[in-house]
Amino acid sequence: MAIRLENITKTFGTVHANHNISMEIRRGEILSLLGENGSGKTTLMNMLSGIYYPDAGQIYVDGREVSIRSPKDAFDLGIGMIHQHFKLVDVFTAAENVILGLPERGRVNRRTVAKKVREICERYGFEVDPNQKVYDMSVSQKQTLEIVKVLYRGANVLILDEPTAVLTPQEADKLFAVMRRMRADGKAVVIITHKLHEVLSVSDRVAILRKGEYVGDVPTREATELSLTEMMVGQKVSLNIDRPEPVNPRRRLSVEHLSIVNAEGVKVLDDVSFECNSGEILGIAGISGCGQRELLEAIAGLQREEPGSSIKYYPPAGGEEELTLCTPRQIRDHGIALSFVPEDRLGMGLVGGFGMSDNMMLKDYNNGHSFFTDRTRPRELAARIKEDLAVQTPDLITPVRKLSGGNVQKVLVGREIAAAPSVLMTAYAVRGLDINTSYTIYRLLNEQKKKGVAVIFVGEDLDVLLELCDRILVLCAGRVNGVLDGRSAKKEEVGLLMTNLNKKGEGAA
Amino acid sequence: MDSFISLIQAAVVFGTVIMFGAVGETLTEKSGNLNLGVPGIMYLGGIASLTGAFFYESAVASPNAILCVLIALVCGVGASMLGGLIYSFLTITLRANQNVSGLALSIFGSGVANFFGGSLNKLAGGVGQISVASTSAAFRAQIPLLSGLGVPGRIFFSYGFMMYLAIVIAILMQCFFSYSRAGLNLRSVGENPATADAAGINVGRNKYLATCIGAGISGLGGIFYVMDYTKGTWANDGTIEKLGWLAVALVIFTRWKPKNAVWGAYLFGMMYWLYFYISGLTRSTQELFKMLPYVVTIVVLVLVSLRKKREDQPPEHLGLAYFREDR
């Protein structure tokens, strides 16, 4: 046994982030820590890595009671954590980041460090160039560097906080291989993740938290997706995503020959044409960075389209409107809503320092003719969203950046839906969300669909796209590489279209 | 020719004041603290060194030159570091807004200095009557043989020891940032304190040390100005303040690299004095020339922003407070 926690409690203000938690972390084992957003997983692990200090309870490392007051104490005990937000200095090289804060004094000997970094890489099969600057690295490279950094410090206990949230499936598989190698090396590995299939494939044991309390642990071989979800949520759940038949679909939006050239002069969208209909969910699949973001932004009026592009909107009342040269506000006033969840969640759509009600106001502060803003309606709306989506926040004026990631997303998606759009675009709406909240979001999207809204759903998880969407448009390198029927398409088929560009450039189906 | 040499000499003297200010401020900013109190800190250094020297010289009959210099330096650096400590306490411990704290320190420093400067003048019996002749002479002592070498002697060796000290400190500072682990750790604090914290670096300690030592170095500029340029007198004309702001501008101009301050400071000094050596300027056209250092700083900012090179950017967390349990 590597670490034992006894009766750990941590409160923030009046909120119990962790309450009386007792659990074990063992050597030679991969432990999954599972729980809904805001259930206190990260807080608990932060107490092992020295970021937080428990209000009550004991931590034993190798049977000895310890007090971890700072990250340095954690390193000294051989505990290393890879945080969800990378702790790397962008302007430093990989090697400089690795040796940061180590107790050695005097000159930096870059050659020795580089040599030792290469040794670690060879041992575990990493590819890290010690002299590469972090700002030149991809997300996956940064994560690898984080792991190298922890191993360089001789960590025996590795904690990974949602490591796969930003990785492609291939990169995630590579990471799992590394984790298995570390387990074989006798290290204790803890992984925090929401993706149940990852939990089942990589871990040996699953520990579950619910609302800051420890529910229990089970060996992974005895667990199923359903049993884990029930432990997490605390009640019976169904893991089927609903897919009602589209009722009376009408053309709502048509995109023709859309091309976008970005600031670096790269053509990120190339002659994209498609249509989307009311009462239908159109899924957009593709490897990340294939133009999904630009496509949605173009429709929302945030991109400059190349000549020849045309985006037309067909209001439910009839007629047609050209959107190509409209301002974002004009487009929004037509009833086209965009909720984009970027990698850092707060980047677009919400103001981190504002509370929930002020964020509601961002969209409609300009309505009405009074000199003063109307604060009552946004407050009511915020209260309703908090109620409907079970947003966990002490009150409506707490800055949203203080909420956990999942709750931030509920606020964003909730606000967009509340605008009663006729076209609703969401991108990565469930990114980093726990399974229960994800299902809440799917349910909300389905409700919109039943109301006759045209929903565009950009997703990452192919299983979800195949279960939720009526049609799936596959983007590959900025081109439409095919449109499939959601009910009959096979996962392999979509995967193939995502990676292999169809040379003929099939248009809208 | 003569006027060109005296332009260079004037540029070097003012450049040295600016260089001290800028190198100290660079150290502070590398820790993520944007201390706009440089003018105030220079004031504090100047007045404290003058006060210390004044009381020492009036207490003993024949002042010892080495002791004179030591007392002036200890008083001046001590007072500047105290200024840095006030700023550190406000911004690091209390997490007050850095811009406001820095500006307050600037106003506070100039107020304190001019108050005590006036008092000293009164004690000495009138403006310009303060006599710290021995101390000033020690500060202004030139290298005996080299300074008599004609034109090269006048250009390179007609200064007191602090002019060379400034260059040495700037170069040492550059080496500290580039090659030492402590420098690497300090830079990480200014770039990304959460990362530094997670790596086991004591963020608060690094910030306190960098800010206080940085203030001490900036204060040397004030000491040099008072002891060397004004020959140990106090004039309430606001020149120190101007030089202090130029030091802040120079930090940007050097792109946070002290090695660039070595030539950049003299360039600033030259631009400061240029109006004085160009004939035919009226009072109003003079002002155009006095803008030069600031115009150049803006041009550098524009060029740097256009090139978008990450290494030329200010420390990423500059101006922001850090609190570990914040999210």
Chain A nearest-CA distance from B294, in A, is 27
Residue type, A27: R
The answer to whether residue A330 scores a pLDDT higher than 50 is: yes
Q: What is the dihedral of CA A104, A106, A108, A111, to 10 degrees?
A: -80
* Mean pLDDT for chain B overall: 91
pLDDT at B129: 76
Same domain, yes or no: A117 and A155: yes
CATH value at residue B94: 1.10.3470
Range from A351-355, A485-489, B256-260 that averages highest in pLDDT: B256-260
Give domain status of residue B27, yes or no: yes
Chain B nearest-CA distance from A297, in A, is 25
Give domain status of residue B322, yes or no: no
A3-36: pLDDT as tens digits: 999 999 998 877 788 999 999 999 999 999 998 8
Chain B nearest-CA distance from A52, in A, is 7
CATH value at residue A437: 3.40.50.300
Chain B nearest-CA distance from A100, in A, is 6
Residue A100 to residue B184, Cβ atoms within 8 A: yes
Interface check for B327 against chain A (CB to CB < 8 A): the answer is: yes
Residues of B in contact with A90 (CB under 8 A): 191-192, 310, 316
Same domain, yes or no: A306 and A187: no
3-state secondary structure B82-94: HHHHHHHHHHHHC
A427-478: pLDDT as tens digits: 888 877 777 788 888 888 898 899 888 999 988 888 888 889 999 999 888 8
**Cα distance between residue B208 and residue B93, in whole Å:** 9
- Given A81, A89, A133, which is nearest B191 (Cβ)? A89
* Degrees to nearest 5, angle at CA A393 with A388 and A395: 95
Same domain, yes or no: A84 and A164: yes
The answer to whether residue A346 scores a pLDDT higher than 70 is: no
Number of folded domains in chain B? 1
B251 within 8 A of B34, measured Cβ to Cβ? no
Could you count the other beta carbons within 10 Å of the beta carbon of residue B63? 20
What single string gives the DSSP state of each residue in A412-461? Answer: HHHHHHHT--SEEEEESTTTT--HHHHHHHHHHHHHHHHTT-EEEEE-S-
Residue A87 to residue B195, Cβ atoms within 8 A: yes
Domain end, chosen from A233, A265, A285, is at A233
Within 8 A by CB and 6+ apart from A441, the residues are: A409, A410, A413, A429, A430, A433
Domain that holds residue B177: 2-312
> A245 pLDDT band (50/70/90 cuts)?
confident
Residue B187 to residue A49, Cβ atoms within 8 A: no
Domain that holds residue A496: 249-337+422-509
Domain end, chosen from A398, A419, A440, is at A419
Return the closest-CA partner of residue B269 out of B5, B35, B10.
B10
Give domain status of residue B320, yes or no: no
pLDDT at A507: 43
Chain B nearest-CA distance from A436, in A, is 24
Residue A100 to residue B179, Cβ atoms within 8 A: no
Residues A351-365 have a mean pLDDT of 83
pLDDT at A166: 72
Same domain, yes or no: A379 and A314: no
- Given A70, A101, A135, which is nearest B310 (Cβ)? A135
pLDDT at B240: 93
- Given B195, B324, B325, which is nearest A89 (Cβ)? B195
Same domain, yes or no: A15 and A142: yes
- Given B185, B199, B310, which is nearest A90 (Cβ)? B310
B7-24: pLDDT as tens digits: 999 999 999 999 999 999
A435 within 8 A of A261, measured Cβ to Cβ? no
Domain end, chosen from A394, A419, A444, is at A419
Give domain status of residue A384, yes or no: yes
Give domain status of residue A239, yes or no: no
Residue A70 to residue B200, Cβ atoms within 8 A: yes
Interface check for A136 against chain B (CB to CB < 8 A): the answer is: no
Same domain, yes or no: A170 and A94: yes
Task: Give the total residue count for chain A.
Answer: 509
Number of C-alpha atoms within 13 angstroms, CB side, residue B65? 6
Give domain status of residue B323, yes or no: no
Same domain, yes or no: A75 and A181: yes
Closest residue in chain B to residue A90, using alpha carbons only: B191
Residue A88 to residue B192, Cβ atoms within 8 A: yes
Q: What is the pTM of this model?
A: 0.78
**Is the alpha carbon torsion for A388, A439, A345, A215 positive or negative?**
positive
Closest residue in chain B to residue A402, using alpha carbons only: B327
Give domain status of residue B282, yes or no: yes
B51 within 8 A of B135, measured Cβ to Cβ? no
Chain A nearest-CA distance from B204, in A, is 13
**Is the alpha carbon torsion for B278, B280, B282, B284 positive or negative?**
negative
Give domain status of residue B277, yes or no: yes
The answer to whether residue A41 scores a pLDDT higher than 60 is: yes
Give domain status of residue B325, yes or no: no
ipTM value for the complex? 0.85
Interface check for B9 against chain A (CB to CB < 8 A): the answer is: no
Residues B152-178 have a mean pLDDT of 93
Interface check for A110 against chain B (CB to CB < 8 A): the answer is: no
Residue type, A142: K
- Taking one residue from A and the other from B, the number of pairs with CB-CB distance under 8 angstroms is 77
Same domain, yes or no: A254 and A196: no
pLDDT at A340: 66
Give domain status of residue B292, yes or no: yes
pLDDT at B68: 93
A182-206: pLDDT as tens digits: 899 899 999 998 788 888 999 999 9
Interface check for B175 against chain A (CB to CB < 8 A): the answer is: no
- Given A71, A102, A108, which is nearest B180 (Cβ)? A108
Burial degree of A248 (CB within 10 A; 0-12, 13-18, 19+): exposed
Give domain status of residue A238, yes or no: no
B49-104: pLDDT as tens digits: 999 999 999 898 888 999 999 999 999 999 999 999 999 999 999 999 999 999 99
Closest residue in chain A to residue B315, using alpha carbons only: A91
Q: Which of B177, B188, B256, B257 has the highest number of chain A CBs within 10 A, making it the mutation to test binding with A?
A: B188
Lowest mean pLDDT among A218-222, A501-505, B266-270: A501-505
- β strands within chain B, DSSP E: none
The answer to whether residue B325 scores a pLDDT higher than 70 is: no
Place of tokens 């260059």: B167
Same domain, yes or no: A131 and A276: no
Taking only residues 198 to 257 of chain B, the set having a beta carbon closer than 8 angstroms to any beta carbon of chain A reads 198-201
Same domain, yes or no: A429 and A505: yes
Give domain status of residue A461, yes or no: yes
Taking only residues 45 to 104 of chain A, the set having a beta carbon closer than 8 angstroms to any beta carbon of chain B reads 49, 51-52, 70-72, 75, 81, 83, 85, 87-92, 96, 99-102, 104
Number of folded domains in chain A? 3
Chain B nearest-CA distance from A448, in A, is 33
Same domain, yes or no: A426 and A398: no
Interface check for B324 against chain A (CB to CB < 8 A): the answer is: yes
Return the closest-CA partner of residue B78 out of B107, B112, B45.
B45
- Given A51, A101, A401, which is nearest B185 (Cβ)? A101
Same domain, yes or no: A176 and A220: yes
Give domain status of residue A119, yes or no: yes
Give domain status of residue A170, yes or no: yes
**Is the alpha carbon torsion for B281, B285, B287, B290 positive or negative?**
negative
